[in-house]
């Protein structure tokens, strides 16, 4: 009984098809007995019905044998095989011990992308490192992004509003103001990149989301890498999952985690495409206070003044 249930779960289409063939065969075989058809037609229907019945029966036997062979080869119980099938159907194609391990697959996908690339994270350190630091383990993905911009691929980057980042700092045990500074420094870096590459600037859009981060995500139309934020460790050092484009998981996270936030004008702040306007926005961010306490988001005065000076330089350009 358990085997039969397992077969139906593993090969639902094959089982259903063979059952239908058997039913058709039985109907064709007994129809001449009740309809009074001519002997030749009756013989033909009986022969075809018998053949269909036999084909359907042998099909079920074949499915049963195939199931047992599959189980023997994999040495897995049906429940585990079904779990694997569900995972693949949902869209998970690989699992990685940390974010960096899965980055190469996204880079491969981005090299072939002609439409869009999107990323949702805190400071997006996982894409561009720490601003102006060329010696970083993530330079390959940033290089691929810049090459994609050359091909007119639309790049949408959604960072965390630095005024909200202190929630994450506490969980990760980071010094006060460190994550906030990373966000703003990378924001400055991106604005300066747009200034230096005006022909590419229109395809690089940046927004800030007014909410605590819960999931790092980046992807193309073909692949997506999702990397949950555990409460008390960094996301980049935690398990990541590669998702196939067009799958149920891809659609769910694309729309709920990225697209809905990207289009929500109440909770998302657009960084201006005009460098001078963007620099003014950055100045305001540097001088902001935390949402839940009356302190500057970057308490280090030297760090704050340095970033303000860089923003001022952009304004004077």
The Cα 178–Cα 168 span in angstroms is 11
Parallel, antiparallel, or unpaired: how do β-strands 116-120 and 154-160 relate? parallel
Question: Predicted confidence band at 314 (pLDDT cuts at 50, 70, 90)?
Answer: confident
Q: What is the pLDDT of residue 247?
A: 96
The total number of residues written for the chain in this structure: 317
DSSP β-bridge partners for residue 289: 296
Q: What is the pLDDT of residue 4?
A: 47
Query: Which tens digits make up the pLDDT trace of 74-110?
Result: 656 667 767 888 888 899 999 999 988 889 999 999 9
**Are 139 and 129 spatial neighbours (Cβ–Cβ below 8 Å)?**
yes
Residue 270 has pLDDT above 90, yes or no: yes
Q: What is the pLDDT of residue 56?
A: 73
Query: Which tens digits make up the pLDDT trace of 33-63?
Result: 665 666 677 677 677 777 777 777 777 777 7
pTM value > 0.95 = no
Q: What is the pLDDT of residue 73?
A: 56
**Are 235 and 216 spatial neighbours (Cβ–Cβ below 8 Å)?**
yes
The alpha-helical segments, DSSP class H, found in the chain are: 2-10, 12-35, 39-74, 78-90, 99-111, 125-128, 139-150, 166-172, 178-196, 198-201, 248-253, 260-263, 275-286, 301-316
Q: What is the pLDDT of residue 138?
A: 59
Strands of 223-228's sheet, edge to edge?
92-96, 240-244, 223-228, 215-219, 116-120, 154-160, 204-209, 268-270
The Cα 239–Cα 173 span in angstroms is 20
With CA atoms as reference, report the closest residue to 122 among 212, 220, 225, 189. Answer: 212
């Amino acid at each position: 009984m358990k085997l039969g249930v397992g077969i139906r779960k593993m090969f639902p289409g094959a089982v259903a098809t063979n059952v239908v063939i058997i039913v058709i065969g039985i109907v064709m075989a007994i129809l001449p007995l009740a309809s009074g058809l001519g002997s030749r037609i009756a013989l033909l229907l009986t022969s075809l019905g018998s053949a269909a019945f036999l084909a359907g029966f042998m099909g079920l036997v074949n499915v049963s044998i195939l199931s047992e062979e599959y189980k023997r080869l994999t040495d897995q119980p049906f429940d585990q095989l079904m779990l694997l099938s569900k995972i693949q159907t949902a869209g998970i194609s690989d699992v990685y011990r940390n974010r960096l391990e899965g980055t190469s697959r996204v880079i491969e996908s981005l090299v072939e992308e002609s439409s869009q690339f999107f990323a949702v994270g805190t400071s997006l350190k996982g894409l561009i490192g720490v601003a102006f630091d060329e010696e970083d383990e993530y330079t390959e993905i940033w290089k691929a992004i810049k090459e994609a911009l050359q091909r007119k691929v639309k790049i949408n980057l959604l960072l965390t509003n630095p005024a909200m980042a202190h929630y994450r700092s506490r969980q990760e045990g980071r010094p006060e103001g460190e994550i906030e500074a990373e966000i703003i420094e990378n924001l400055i870096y991106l604005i300066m990149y747009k200034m230096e590459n005006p022909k590419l600037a229109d395809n690089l859009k940046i927004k800030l989301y007014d909410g605590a981060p819960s999931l790092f995500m980046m992807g193309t139309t073909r692949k997506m890498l999702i990397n949950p934020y555990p409460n008390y460790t960094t996301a980049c050092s935690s398990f990541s999952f590669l998702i196939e484009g067009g799958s149920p998981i891809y659609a769910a996270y694309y729309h709920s985690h990225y697209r809905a936030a990207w289009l929500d004008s109440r909770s998302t702040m657009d960084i201006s495409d005009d460098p001078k306007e963007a620099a003014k926005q950055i100045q305001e961010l540097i001088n902001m206070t935390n949402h839940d306490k009356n302190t500057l988001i970057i308490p280090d005065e030297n760090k704050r003044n340095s970033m303000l000076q860089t923003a001022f330089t952009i304004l004077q350009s």
